[in-house]
Amino acid sequence: MALLPERLIRAARKLKRDSYILYLCCRDGRTPWYAKLFAICVAAYAFSPIDLIPDFIPVLGYLDDLILVPLGVLIAIRMVPKEVVQDCRARAEEEFRRTGKPKNWIAGGIIVVLWAAFAVWLIVFLSRLSF
């Protein structure tokens, strides 16, 4: 008996491909600027090695992976013209066959900076409270 249902595994693979398709759409000149901006945010987050909500936090740690990324991908793909998505889908399939899933270390660094800024803000905020 498999640990994860086959349907869930297929959905995860599709999400990886769709995330990479968004990345390719962002680089395509036919994609409108607003779709590029939204798609860049979704793709960068999806390929980031670091999550906004760390996975070790019970329940909440997986909510971003289960809700935010698929929802963002769905919205972003609908913002991009269909012919662009079709072209990028073909390119993504070819690249996945050759190299596998790419990673975006720049997006990961940005998320680390955001978490560090939040931690500093939280420390300053808590230090000002009178107990």
Task: Give tens-digit pLDDT for 49-99.
Answer: 677 777 777 777 777 777 888 888 889 999 999 999 999 999 988 887 777
**Residue ranges per structural domain of the chain:** 6-128
**Residue 83: half-sphere exposure toward Cβ, Cα within 13 Å:** 3
**Token pair 């999550």: residue:** 51
pLDDT range class, residue 130, cuts 50, 70, 90: low
**Cα–Cα dist 30/115, whole Å:** 34
Share of the chain above pLDDT 90, in %: 17
* Residue-wise pLDDT tens digits, 91-129: 988 887 777 655 567 767 777 788 888 889 888 888 888
> Do 67 and 126 contact (CB within 8 A), yes or no?
no
Q: Check residue 3 and give its pLDDT.
A: 60
**Residue 78: half-sphere exposure toward Cβ, Cα within 13 Å:** 6
